[in-house]
Chains A and B, each alone.
Chain A
Amino acid sequence: MIFWQLFYEFFKIGLFAFGGGLAALPFLYHLSIRSHWFDYETLSNMVAIAQSAPGPFGINITTFVGYHVAGFIGALVAILGIALPSLIFVLLVAKLLNRYQDNFFVHSAFYGLRPAVLALIVLAALQFGQTALLHSVQEPIHGAMQIQFATTVLDARALILMAALLFLTNRFPKHPIFYIAISAVIGIIFKL
Chain B
Amino acid sequence: MTLLWQLFWAFCRVSLFTFGGGLAILPMVQKEAVEAHQWATKEEVLDYYAIGQFLPGLNALNTAGFIGLKQKGVAGAIAAGLGIIFPSFVIIMVIAVAFLNFSDIPVVQHAIAGIRVAVLVLIINIVVSLWKVSIPGALAFLIFIGAIIAGFFFSLSPVYIILIAAAVGICFNIALKRGRRRGV
Query: Which of A's residues lie within 8 Å of B, judged by CB?
Result: 14-22, 24, 45, 48-60, 62-64, 67-68, 72, 75, 79, 82-83, 85-87, 89-91, 93-94, 97, 104-105, 107-126, 128-129, 131-133, 136-137, 158, 161-162, 165-166, 169-170, 175-177, 179-180, 182-188, 190-192
B40 within 8 A of A: no
Which residues of A are found within 8 Å of B96, using beta-carbon distances? 64, 67-68
Which residues of A are found within 8 Å of B162, using beta-carbon distances? 113, 116-117, 120
Query: Which of B's residues lie within 8 Å of A, judged by CB?
Result: 13, 15-28, 31, 43, 46-47, 49-62, 65-66, 69-70, 74, 77-78, 81, 84-85, 87-89, 91-93, 95-96, 100, 102-103, 106-127, 130-131, 133-135, 140-141, 143-145, 147-148, 151-152, 158-159, 161-162, 164-170, 172-174
B46/A117 in contact, CB under 8 A: yes
Q: A117-B47, A118-B46 are in contact. List 8 more A-B contacts (CB 8 A).
A: A18-B54, A18-B55, A53-B95, A54-B15, A67-B96, A110-B169, A131-B116, A165-B121
B167/A112 in contact, CB under 8 A: yes
Sample 21 A-B pairs with CB under 8 A, ordered by A number: A19-B22, A20-B59, A22-B22, A56-B20, A59-B88, A79-B89, A90-B55, A112-B140, A114-B133, A117-B50, A119-B148, A120-B147, A158-B117, A176-B27, A176-B31, A179-B121, A180-B119, A183-B115, A184-B114, A187-B117, A188-B107
User: How many angstroms between the C-alpha atoms of A106 and B115 in the bound complex?
Assistant: 38
B158/A120 in contact, CB under 8 A: yes
Which residues of A are found within 8 Å of B168, using beta-carbon distances? 112
Secondary structure class of chain A's binding surface, majority of residues: helix
User: How many angstroms between the C-alpha atoms of A112 and B19 in the bound complex?
Assistant: 30
User: How many angstroms between the C-alpha atoms of A174 and B23 in the bound complex?
Assistant: 20
Nearest residue, chain B, Cβ from A22: B21
A183/B118 in contact, CB under 8 A: yes
Q: A107-B173, A166-B124, A188-B110 are in contact. Are A180 and B77 (CB under 8 A)?
A: no
User: How many angstroms between the C-alpha atoms of A63 and B96 in the bound complex?
Assistant: 10
User: How many angstroms between the C-alpha atoms of A51 and B20 in the bound complex?
Assistant: 5
A-B contact count (CB 8 A): 358
Nearest residue, chain A, Cβ from B120: A132
A19/B59 in contact, CB under 8 A: yes
Which residues of A are found within 8 Å of B93, using beta-carbon distances? 63, 67, 72, 75
User: How many angstroms between the C-alpha atoms of A107 and B172 in the bound complex?
Assistant: 12
Q: A52-B102, A115-B135, A165-B117 are in contact. Are A75 and B89 (CB under 8 A)?
A: yes
B52/A20 in contact, CB under 8 A: yes
A55/B117 in contact, CB under 8 A: no
B55/A52 in contact, CB under 8 A: no
Interface-central residue, A16, A51, A93, A126, by most chain B CB under 10 Å: A93
Nearest residue, chain B, Cβ from A116: B165
